Structure 1
């Protein structure tokens, strides 16, 4: 079996050690000869890089490892680019979340004004990474899970339509893990799902077991009472903000009980609730900086100081397993069924063919084949049309340097109450993002 060379773009990310661990856990089905890290922040990457170098020497010494800020070194001789960059890091995420809150509008990293601001920062660097890949390893595949995935995917469709890039998101996977837990299954892979929507904006319309039995009634009964909380008797299964998200799915489901919702729909259907239950001075970005950011870098420094990764506190991330599944499907032509973010092209019959939709696809060595969804109900279609228009306007604003288009995008977002408020938020976001966004006129 051919061994692959992988570059992780975003080498200084707190998620990178988890991806390395997940790659090591699956070497039998996805063998690797080389792992490289690439990041434009050398200082940050060096801490993660040094720790992972020790980890790899101990657990897989046969794998060549390096980390660099040089694009030519990073992207030469690679089969897969795994991209999960965060432009502006958590400092800018904090701005994305707190600026809208000044105007009683929810602040969130991928939804509403915060997601739009983050999207405007991400487009240029993602296109740059695609160009590096195509210059130095033209036969490589880019597996992109950089947020905000919906805006990034639309940008790649518009600006690099023929590139070998597959856009994915781990959120449906995380929810499906919870569904499997609710049903008492060993793995989400025991379920065959039908899902449609946009990224962070979708619905499960059918879920069956391997024998074809309908699992939706049991899931609906549970979600109607408890949301996606697997064990309601347990006090708390995860961080408070995530616990609330999984519990709130109960109310999101009540709005449209023929399907099961992605948790992110709470931001669009209950924005007033989100604002009421958010501390404008202490947002999710602060939580992450105080916990995950601090813990992962402390674990990395501990590995470096001890000179060993034995008993290290790195953990394999669930979302990383999805990346391995996707890379393996391409490398080994497994024809795995996976949710991808792809150009609609008629898969959803009664929806914009140019929209980047999230639907099941069959993945093999030549890329993916889309599964036909058919027609979707008016409620979902209406919500999706509004949101896809927001995403397209953001990309047009970036391409054309258009203040007007970006104001329209914010105005059209279901999370923003009026054009006047949209303009106030936009003007504040422009000041905060002046070193990241293109100049708007």
Structure 2
């Protein structure tokens, strides 16, 4: 059986050890000969890499391992790139969240102005990694789950339309884990789902078990009372902010009880609630820095010091198992049914053909074959048209270095109340992201500053 070589772009991520453990757990299904880490932060990656070196030595010493900051070394002789980069790291995520909140607007890493700021940082580096892969391993596939996935997917569609990249997200997977528990199943893989929308902006329209029995009534009844809250284990989204998000799904569901919503819709449909319940001084980024960040790096340092994983509390990233399913589908032509972010091209009949939509696809060696969704209701169509326009304007703003397009994008976001608030936020984001965004050309308009909030 062929063994594969994988590069993990974002080797210094707190998620990387869990992904390595997950890959090692799946060697029977997806055998590996080589794992490489690539990151532009050598010091951060070094801690993760030295710990993973010990893990590999104990669990699979036959797998060649390398961590590097050199693109040629990282992307030569690989079959897959698994990319999960965070440009600007958690320090910039904190600003993505706190700057909008300062203006009374939702502060979230992938939604609203924060997501736009993160997208503007991510486009260039994701394209760069894609180009490295195609230069040094032209037959390889890039499995990209770098956020904000919607903006990144639109950028790759527009800038690298023929590239072998699949844009994916684990949020529906996480919610489906909860759904399976609610339905009394052992795994989300026992469900067959029909889902449509944009990334972090979608709805389930049907869920059945493998025998075709309708699971929607049982799941809906639970969500109506409890949201998606379900006890699925100690390592799955235990922070207070996540519990609130899963509970709030019952209010999002009430807006359209014909479908089941993605939890992220709360940021667009209940903006006032989100802002009111946000701590402007201590956001989700602070939770992660004080929680997951300290925990993962602390465990890695223990492994390095002891040169052993004995007593290690790092756990397999179960959510990441969908990445192996995707890689296997391409490698072995399995025709697995998976949710991917793909160009609509008529799958949703009454929606923009060029929109990057998140829908079920059949995946084989030639990539994804999107399934037909048909027409969607006016409510979802209206929300999606507004949001996809935001995403397209951001990518146009990045390409054209256009202040005007970015102002329009933030103004159009359903999280933002007015163009004047949008401009004030944009000016703050521009200042904060000088190191990361391309140089943005300001409009040649007299007295444009007069529109700023005082």
Tell me which interval the TM-score lies in, with the shorter structure as reference length.
over 0.9
**In structure 2, how many angstroms separate the alpha carbons of the residues matched to 1:241 and 1:144?**
26
Structural mapping, 1:64-79, within 5 Å: 64-79=64-79
Q: Secondary structure at the match of 1:196?
A: strand
Compute the TM-score of the two structures, normalised by the length of structure 2: 0.96
TM-superposed CA distance for 1:437, in Å, is 0.4
Partner of 2:419: 419
**In structure 2, how many angstroms separate the alpha carbons of the residues matched to 1:188 and 1:243?**
20
Moved over 4 A (4+): none
**Residue-pair matches, total:** 439
**In structure 1, how many angstroms separate the alpha carbons of the residues matched to 2:319 and 2:91?**
23
**In structure 2, how many angstroms separate the alpha carbons of the residues matched to 1:440 and 1:43?**
31
**In structure 1, how many angstroms separate the alpha carbons of the residues matched to 2:177 and 2:333?**
24
Asked whether the equivalents of residues 80 and 140 of structure 1 are also in contact (C-alpha less than 8 Å), the reply is: yes
Partner of 2:446: none
Partner of 1:35: 35
Asked whether the equivalents of residues 207 and 215 of structure 1 are also in contact (C-alpha less than 8 Å), the reply is: yes
Q: Secondary structure at the match of 2:319?
A: helix
**In structure 1, how many angstroms separate the alpha carbons of the residues matched to 2:58 and 2:440?**
50
**In structure 2, how many angstroms separate the alpha carbons of the residues matched to 1:438 and 1:129?**
17
Deviations 1:239-258 (A, max 9, x none): 10000000000000000000
Mean CA deviation greater in 306-315 or 184-193? 306-315
TM-superposed CA distance for 1:231, in Å, is 5.1
Partner of 2:212: 212
Could you tell me which runs of 5 or more consecutive residues in structure 2 were left unpaired when the two chains were aligned: 442-454
Partner of 2:94: 94
Alpha carbons of structure 1 residues 275 and 395: separation in structure 2 relative to 1, 3 Å:
same
Could you tell me which runs of 5 or more consecutive residues in structure 1 were left unpaired when the two chains were aligned: none
Q: Secondary structure at the match of 2:208?
A: strand
TM-superposed CA distance for 1:329, in Å, is 1.0
Q: Secondary structure at the match of 2:55?
A: helix
Partner of 2:227: 227
Structural mapping, 1:309-328, within 5 Å: 309-328=309-328
Alpha carbons of structure 1 residues 315 and 231: separation in structure 2 relative to 1, 3 Å:
closer
TM-superposed CA distance for 1:237, in Å, is 7.6
Deviations 1:358-415 (A, max 9, x none): 0000011111111100000000000000000000000000000000000000000000
Asked whether the equivalents of residues 193 and 208 of structure 1 are also in contact (C-alpha less than 8 Å), the reply is: yes
**In structure 1, how many angstroms separate the alpha carbons of the residues matched to 2:55 and 2:137?**
27
**In structure 1, how many angstroms separate the alpha carbons of the residues matched to 2:155 and 2:405?**
15
Asked whether the equivalents of residues 174 and 318 of structure 1 are also in contact (C-alpha less than 8 Å), the reply is: no
Partner of 1:5: 5
TM-superposed CA distance for 1:319, in Å, is 2.3
Matched, 1:50 2:50: yes
Partner of 1:348: 348
Compute the TM-score of the two structures, normalised by the length of structure 1: 0.98
